[in-house]
Amino acid sequence: MENNQLTPMPRIGDKAPEFKAVTTQGPINFPADYSGSWVILFSHPADFTPVCTSEFMTFASMEKRFEEAGCKLVGLSVDGLYSHIAWLRTIKEKIEYKGMKNVEVNFPLIEDITMEVARKYGMLQPGESSTKAVRAVFFIDPKGIIRAVIYYPLSMGRNFEELYRALIAMKTADAFSIATPADWQPGDDVIVPTAGSCGVAKQRMESKEEMHCYDWFFCTKKLEKDKVMKAVLKK
Is there a contact between 94 and 86 (Cβ–Cβ < 8 Å)? no
Partners of residue 76 on adjacent β-strands: 43, 110
* 75 scored as a contact of ligand BEZ (CB under 6 A): no
Give CA separation, 21 vs 24, 44, 149, in Å.
Answer: 10, 16, 21
Instruction: State the nearest-atom distance from the C-beta of 55 to ligand BEZ, in Å.
Output: 7
When the beta carbons of 37 and 54 are compared against ligand BEZ, the nearer one is 54
CB under 6 A: which stretch of 43-51, 62-70, 142-150, 209-217 binds ligand BEZ?
A: 43-51
* 51 scored as a contact of ligand BEZ (CB under 6 A): yes
CB under 6 A: which stretch of 44-52, 86-94, 174-182, 226-234 binds ligand BEZ?
A: 44-52
- Reduced to 3 states, what is the DSSP secondary structure of residue 111? strand
Residue of 52, 71, 198, 219 with catalytic role: 52
DSSP element (H, E) containing 232? helix 225-232
* Footprint (CB under 6 A) of ligand BEZ, residues 112-151: 132
52 carries an active-site annotation: yes
Which of 50, 127, 196, 199 touches ligand BEZ by CB under 6 A?
50
When the beta carbons of 45 and 108 are compared against ligand BEZ, the nearer one is 45
- Reduced to 3 states, what is the DSSP secondary structure of residue 152? strand
Which of 49, 61, 83, 194 touches ligand BEZ by CB under 6 A?
49
The string over 58-86, giving b where at least 16 C-beta atoms fall within 10 Å of a residue's C-beta and e elsewhere, is bbbbebeebeebbbbbbbbbbbeeebbee
* 46 scored as a contact of ligand BEZ (CB under 6 A): yes
Q: How far is CA 233 from the centre of its chain?
A: 16
Q: Please work out, in degrees rounded to the nearest 5, the angle formed at the alpha carbon of residue 141 by the alpha carbons of 140 and 145.
A: 70
Residues comprising the chain, all counted: 235
Conformation bin of residue 205: beta by default, left when phi > 0, alpha when psi is -120 to 50: alpha
When the beta carbons of 8 and 50 are compared against ligand BEZ, the nearer one is 50
* 85 scored as a contact of ligand BEZ (CB under 6 A): no
* 52 scored as a contact of ligand BEZ (CB under 6 A): yes
- x/- binding map, residues 173-212, to ligand BEZ, per CB under 6 A? ----------------------------------------
Give CA separation, 192 vs 67, 74, 214, in Å.
Answer: 29, 33, 12
Number of residues that bind ligand BEZ (CB under 6 A): 9
Residues at the contact surface with ligand BEZ, assessed by CB under 6 A: 45-46, 49-52, 132, 154-155
- What residues are annotated to the active site? 52
